[in-house]
Structure 1
Amino acid sequence: MKRCYYCNIPGHQISNCKRKEEDEESQLIRIAINTGVEKQRDDEDDDDYRKDQKMECLVVGTDGGLWSEMWYVSKTLKHHFSGNLSMFKRIKCMNDVETRTSENQFYFIRGIGPVDVISGAEKIRIQSVFFTQHIDRNVLSYDQLITQGFTVKFTGDKCKLFPTFSITTE
């Protein structure tokens, strides 16, 4: 008799398992793969443009500590991401998938919340940072920073964040 390897119930196989189809992770993977394939086709035209553009810059003042405390600003990611749960002041649990990473991969989102970016003596509160275990660094989205009212000043491969209404003296 046939036995499903997914739900361990006899009478059907994994390819016909209803429980598997309803599983949230399976749905997220299916969405991510379908969206990623479509996005990859669209991005092939943008490859030449991206080669000329510096993708990530280190936030000044975060480079003096641990790797897990360093922050980068990305011009390709559309959302802020951190893989370090201890960076979050508070976190709201959520299950989602981010397919628009511009890194030809997708991230499973497990939460969202604010973080404090310690830049030298300054503490800058950044809202709406996604927590995912699938990223190995802390990355702020340039587009999202601008939308949130920050100014980003680039100097070589480093950058400095200025909150709304601050005076840039450098």
Structure 2
Amino acid sequence: MLIREATAEDWPAIWPFFQEIVARGETFPYPLDLGREQGRDWWLLPTPDRTVVAVDQAGTVLGTAKMNANRPGNGDHVASASYMVDPAHAGRGVGRALCAYTLDWARAAGFRAMQFNAVVASNERAVGLYRSLGFEVLGTVPEGFRHPELGLVGLHIMHRPL
């Protein structure tokens, strides 16, 4: 697996699984009907932020991550990131590789910590992955997310120093 900078030419490969994940409404607090162009604008971030893709030997996009400062100004020393793995490639270490990549990027860029602002508490795979990489749940917004099957569930704020 190779992780490289995403380009506009990658969007047609990202969009199908991005749209599927968003439309399911289980893990991202995005509008369920988010359109292709708006999704691209939200995901493919300009410099100094970054968006990357994980690809296999054939160049197939397996997943993607975006990384940025969590807040501007006096909060810009804390990084944040988001991840999407094509469900067809789930369970193969793509998410772990992307998360490790973003942590390395954040360290190299001089960030002091990484924080996730909205990890859906019922997304046990993601929560478990982040915990295994040193993140802790700092707090949970009770009923902060409307899950389509489970109803109102918590949203974790997760953090780790770098």
Task: Compute the TM-score of the two structures, normalised by the length of structure 1.
Answer: 0.29
More helix by share: 2
Task: Compute the TM-score of the two structures, normalised by the length of structure 2.
Answer: 0.30
